[in-house]
Amino acid sequence: MQKYFDIEFWRRVTYVDVTLWLMRAAVIIVVVWGTIGTLIDGRYSNEQWFDFVMFGLTMGGIYALVALGYTMVYGILRLINFAHGDIFMTGAFTAYFVASPLGKSGFLEENLLISMIIICLTAMVTCVIIALTVERICYRPFRSVRSFAPLICAIGASFFIQHSFRGMYGSSVRAYPDVEFFDKLLSIGSFDFPMIQPVVILAALGSMTGLYLIVMKTRMGTAMRATSEDRDTASLMGIDVNRVIIFTFVLGGSMAGIGGVLYAFVFKQVYFFMGFFPGIKAFSAAVLGGIGNIPGAMLGGFFLGTVESVGPALFLDGLGIVAPYQLRDLIAFTMLVMVLIFRPQGLLGERVSQRA
């Protein structure tokens, strides 16, 4: 607070600072005003709010799984794996060709757990293969180069993967099989929700716990953390950095695979472009939680999912905006931009992420 009383501080304020403050103020005013407006109006019942939150947490779980891939790769290689959203797509899309016959033969309904494991494994293996290929072709040659090159390669990889899969599996939207168990409504008091939502949340939490244990308790995890602290020193300590990087991509790819299958069972459809928006949102989640920070990515994912789901109703409806649901992506992108501008270290991060 002290600095605001210093006249020197005010002398150094430029129009850029003023604009940024105005931006912040505008966002806060919009949020507060919209919230008050909506709450006074009372247009939504408690059940509806519960629906929004549950859906948000479901999406949040998926975002968190994908965000882990971004955050781990950033932590170790200091680069944005732009193709990660499309890696997520490859898993879900390939697993469709396992899920669909399983669903048709009725095996899926009878042995749900086993078939879910099979489907997830397919997706994970696909994602890991693609992720490792991307690493080998696009990132490894530029590992010791500080430039735009890896990012541009990643953008190229993203398009290449998308359109290869479009060519391979076709451009039509494929529908995942319906599972009775997932569609069943579960009710607690007057709130009811489909079974898929808690399943997704629990599966996401379970996978994340597994990942957290791997990173914190195993030797490889320790090596990962060491490499992310300081790659050169780690390699001097006898850590095979190459293996650590491959392991990171394996972990990130498998999380994306699980996320992809869960996403496909929530939305019931897969197509070649499906990875783009979840990818960007998951990246936002990773930034939100502090990129390079594993618990941060999980928290960021759930936070982003919830805000995005509750937001249109809570902030925008109160402002009298027509069809606020069209602006769902707006909320995610605004959060992304605001975090990048005002708090690049994220909610939990201590790491100063400024890469020249």
40/96 Cα distance (integer angstroms): 45
Q: Does 168 bind other proteins (CB under 8 A)?
A: yes
- What is the smallest separation between the CB atom of 101 and other proteins, expressed in angstroms? 9
Rank residues 167 and 206 by Cβ distance to other proteins and give the closer one: 167
Q: Does 40 bind other proteins (CB under 8 A)?
A: no
261/164 Cα distance (integer angstroms): 20
Rank residues 35 and 353 by Cβ distance to other proteins and give the closer one: 353
Q: How far is CA 33 from its chain centroid?
A: 29
83/30 Cα distance (integer angstroms): 34
Residue 278's closest CA among 264, 289, 290? 264
Size of the site for other proteins (CB under 8 A): 60
Residue 302's closest CA among 224, 208, 218? 208
Virtual torsion, Cα 218, 222, 224, 226, nearest 10 deg: 180
Q: Does 10 bind other proteins (CB under 8 A)?
A: no
Q: Does 125 bind other proteins (CB under 8 A)?
A: no
Binding segment for other proteins (CB under 8 A), chosen from 47-55, 167-175, 184-192, 219-227, is: 167-175
Site string for other proteins, 171-190 (x = CB under 8 A): x-------------------
Residue found under tokens 């009383």: 5
Cα dist from 31 to 45, 307, 314, whole Å: 20, 11, 8
Q: Does 333 bind other proteins (CB under 8 A)?
A: yes
Site string for other proteins, 63-82 (x = CB under 8 A): ----------------xx--
**DSSP result, 300-313:** HHHHHHHHHHHHII
Residue found under tokens 């990130």: 252
- What is the smallest separation between the CB atom of 2 and other proteins, expressed in angstroms? 23
Rank residues 128 and 138 by Cβ distance to other proteins and give the closer one: 138
Q: Which residue from 97, 111, 183, 222 is in contact with other proteins, where contact means CB under 8 A? A: 97
Site string for other proteins, 285-324 (x = CB under 8 A): --x---------------------------------xxx-
Q: Which residue from 35, 164, 235, 269 is in contact with other proteins, where contact means CB under 8 A? A: 164
The answer to whether the CB of 72 falls within 8 A of the CB of 293 is no
49/244 Cα distance (integer angstroms): 43
Q: Does 356 bind other proteins (CB under 8 A)?
A: yes
Rank residues 80 and 314 by Cβ distance to other proteins and give the closer one: 80
